[in-house]
């Protein structure tokens, strides 16, 4: 959709929502980022998968990628709390090697592949350099962690500092801790982490369409009258 058409559609649908709702949408879209993406590989517990999506929404990360090699990604409505309406979910389940195709796609888009797992060459999360460029953080299954494919193709390895006997965090807790740190650091930095003008309009239109009943029908009638 052309920029002018996007602007017209946004302005039209804004007429169907309250000023308060408009303020919330404007505030949230201004805090959205694609500088960071989250990738889940073969997560099989619905409560964990749903909690990660909820965290993405809360910390302003717009894109959640899910690799479904063996386990289908299912959402628990009681945990996700409506966040699936506001976060873009990208499912990767059509290829023979979904993990490799996902990594390839993200690298082509300019993302560093970051494996969140203890590793001989890993760094602690507080030492991760966000300024080096966009990053996609991979999280593995609850039992076995990330696949060898991710480990072999990762650009960097990051771990969360731990000081107890337990070897790892629950996957949803791990993702929330990583997102909290990265979101805070992004907003303290001089990095251009916000959405582009076109991305902002596209996302605002998407959210407005989800907020206005029969929005598609309304838009069709609007553009018919304004040809």
Residue-number span of the structural domain to which 72 is assigned:
33-193
Residues 223 and 140 in one domain: no
Which structure tokens are listed for 205? 């239109």
Residues 149 and 38 in one domain: yes
Residues 145 and 219 in one domain: no
List the CATH number of the domain containing 182. 3.40.1280.10
Which residue do the tokens 């590989």 mark? Answer: 41
Residues 55 and 128 in one domain: yes
Residues 146 and 204 in one domain: no
Residue 202 or residue 142, greater confidence: 202
Q: Is 160 annotated as a binding residue?
A: yes
Domain count, the chain: 2
The model's pTM: 0.92
Residues 212 and 184 in one domain: no
Residues 182 and 214 in one domain: no
Distances (CA, A) of 120 to 124, 155, 157, 200: 12, 13, 9, 40
Q: Is 144 annotated as a binding residue?
A: no
pLDDT tens string 22-53: 999 999 999 999 999 999 998 777 677 788 98
């Amino acid at each position: 959709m052309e920029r002018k058409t996007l602007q017209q559609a946004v302005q039209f649908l804004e007429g169907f929502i309250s000023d308060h709702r408009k303020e919330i949408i404007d505030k949230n879209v201004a805090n959205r980022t694609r500088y960071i993406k989250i990738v889940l590989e073969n997560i099989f517990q619905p409560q964990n998968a749903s909690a990660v999506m909820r965290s993405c929404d809360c910390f302003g990360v717009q894109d959640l990628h899910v690799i479904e090699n063996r386990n289908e990604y299912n959402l628990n409505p009681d945990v996700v709390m409506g966040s699936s309406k506001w976060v873009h979910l990208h499912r990767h389940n059509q290829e023979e090697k979904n993990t490799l195709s996902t990594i390839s796609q993200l690298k082509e888009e300019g993302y560093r592949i970051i494996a969140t797992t203890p590793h001989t060459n890993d760094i602690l999360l507080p030492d991760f350099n966000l300024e080096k460029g966009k990053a996609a953080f991979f999280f593995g299954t609850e039992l076995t962690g990330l696949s060898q494919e991710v480990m072999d193709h990762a650009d960097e390895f990051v771990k969360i500092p731990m000081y107890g006997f337990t070897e790892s965090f629950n996957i949803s807790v791990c993702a929330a801790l990583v997102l909290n740190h990265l979101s805070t650091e992004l907003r303290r930095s001089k990095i251009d982490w916000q959405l582009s003008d076109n991305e902002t309009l596209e996302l605002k239109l998407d959210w407005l369409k989800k907020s206005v009943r029969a929005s598609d029908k309304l838009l069709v009638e609007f553009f018919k009258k304004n040809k």
